[in-house]
Amino acid sequence: MSNLIERLKTNARMSHVVIANDVVYLSGQLPDTASAPFAIQVKEVLARIDSLLESANVDKTRLLTANVWISTPLYFDAFNEIWDAWVPEGHAPTRVCVTAALMRPGLDVEIAVTALK
């Protein structure tokens, strides 16, 4: 086991990607467009996750876990429809999905994932 920790897309507050012991941790990802329709927000977040995983030389077939926050349970079915189309068949990670008040008005979804290198 290595003590090496690699941090990508880092600023003073946080790293968007941390890699340690061949595990890739992504920070919670938010949509680019606040107040956009929910489906657009989810697709923006998933595209961002794809890009960050790529920066760590891994893809979504290597996902281990996903933590999902949505602003209202009314979006649960819509979220699952988009999520199910995004996750490669046979590669679904463990997942939790809860409702929460997100940190900025107009944001309806946040997702954080971990993956294995």
Domains along the sequence of the chain with CATH: 24-116 (3.30.1330.40)
Whether residue 1 has pLDDT greater than 80: no
Mean pLDDT of the chain: 97
Q: What is the pLDDT of residue 2?
A: 77
Helix axes 38-55, 76-86, angle to 10 degrees: 40
pLDDT in tens, 69-88: 999 999 999 999 999 999 99
pLDDT in tens, 3-14: 899 999 999 999
Alpha carbon 113 to chain centroid, angstroms: 5
The mean pLDDT of 33-55, rounded to a whole number, is 97
Q: What is the pTM of this model?
A: 0.95
